[in-house]
Amino acid sequence: MTFDNVSLFPMGSKLSENGTLTVGGCDITNLAQKYGTPLYVYDENTIRTMAKTFVKEFTSRYESTVVAYASKAFLTKAMARIANEEGLSLDVVSGGEISAAISAGFPASRMDFHGNNKTPEELIYAVESGVGTIVVDGFHELNLLNQLASSREIVQGIMLRLSPSVDAHTHGHTTTGILDVKFGFSIESGESTTAIRQALGSTNLDLKGIHFHLGSPIFELEPYSQAIDTVLDYLAPFRSEGLNLREFSPGGGFAIGYMRNQPPPPISAYAEVITSMLIKKCTQLGFDLPKLIIEPGRSIVGRAGVAVYTVGVIKDIPTVRTYVSLDGGMGDNIRPALYGSEYEAVVANKMTVDTGHEIVTLAGKYCESGDILVKDVSLPTLESGDIIAIPSSGAYCLAMSSNYNMNPRPAVVMVKDGTSQIIRRRETYQDLIALDV
Ligand SMILES: Cc1ncc(COP(=O)(O)O)c(C=O)c1O
């Protein structure tokens, strides 16, 4: 038996005979009882299938592709191990992400370190840990990194992050490839030309290639081809100055489905547009085909994760709105408050109830009126104690979570073929004051 929103939930999600939601062969209502709520449930098979899909769809079109999981979307030791086992590289953006991945046995040599303002301490840590590539984002970093590498008598592999002035039409907070952003060396302003020349002349830096990232989530294909076209045209003349483009990265940003009526393009469509444009431009301009590095984050883990909450207070304001308050909210998912992001929701213990639907608003428990997770959703009549499941919650929810109002962060459970395992325990009140001195 299936249900309306099934394509937003982890692969293989089903209805049980009792009319409850199962994910990874586990009944969500049982998981809620066993581990408590709010709870984040990740389906291991979905994560692995997405990783394999990216590898297959890209390498079948362009053999020399590396898939680097953007760990900012969701990182735990278990996640780093899965990425490693699937043969992915890792896109990291802080010393903390490097450290967490190393502690899970992820080789630093397969990490690409991004960020618009890496601190000196982070750069030293990355260099000394043997991080394979540092994606340099500004002149201060370019100077500092060359000095750090020189004083250690090493040559550090780098890419330069360029900003190609291509608008990927994402939310204003998540567009990163236009002129007016903090990221990267702008082509339009001319600073990328200075940066490429400086990098080529830096004795302790090995400029392996060029990177850009347009934003996230990108539902259109055209921005990728437009940016590849622009950037390769721009780079061609630098070959006479010594640029050897061995690596090329158009970043990540591949969309996932959040709402039933807004399906993303399939991975194969992104793969087709990126690889065909890269091959076309390299052939046209006489470049040897570089290693292609893609950086999916959201699209690897987004669908795999389900947020699970318990209904508490229900406040009905006649003719205005019914607020149904949950035991989590903006502390574990800031995206609706930050970006106006929309989600679907189901009642995990009433999946087959199709009478008495009402339009309600699912609110969080945090002290902000803007702490709304899902506005105006049609659900069966709710009672306190019902279990709400929000799909597409695997990316940028826990990763951006906070202890606002001194609420402990939720536990995280990995499910697979009918078994469940805690991969991150629920925070305790003790954890909340553990750093106070
Ligand atoms: C440089 C870079 N690569 C990859 C990503 C991952 O984006 P997504 O999770 O949408 O694939 C990001 C996200 O911010 C990024 O900044």
Q: Are 343 and 374 in contact (CB under 8 A)?
A: yes
Query: What digits encode the pLDDT tens for the residues 282-314?
Result: 999 999 999 999 999 999 999 999 999 999 999
pLDDT the model gives residue 375: 97
Query: What digits encode the pLDDT tens for the residues 79-127?
Result: 999 999 999 999 999 999 999 999 999 999 999 999 999 999 999 999 9
Mean pLDDT over residues 21-30, rounded? Answer: 98
**Ligand 1 center to 179 CA (angstroms):** 18
- Higher pLDDT, residue 47 or 174: 47
* Structural domains of the chain in order of their starting residue, each with its CATH number: 6-36+304-433 (2.40.37.10), 45-298 (3.20.20.10)
pLDDT at 1 over 60: no
pLDDT at 137 over 70: yes
Q: Is 317 exposed, middle or buried (0-12, 13-18, 19+ CB in 10 A)?
A: exposed
The answer to pTM > 0.95 is yes
Confidence bin at 315 (pLDDT 50/70/90) = very high
86: left (phi over 0), alpha (psi -120 to 50) or beta: alpha
Measured CA to CA, the distance from residue 196 to residue 186 in angstroms comes to 11
SS (H, E, C) 135-165: EECCHHHHHHHHHHHHHCCCCEEEEEEEECC
Is 367 annotated in the active site? yes
Is the minimum distance from the CB of 70 to ligand 1 under 6 angstroms?
yes
**Ligand 1 center to 93 CA (angstroms):** 10
Mean pLDDT over residues 195-216, rounded? Answer: 97
Is the minimum distance from the CB of 299 to ligand 1 under 6 angstroms?
yes
Largest CA distance in the chain: 72
Share of the chain above pLDDT 70, in %: 100
pLDDT at 168 over 90: no
Mean pLDDT over residues 406-410, rounded? Answer: 98
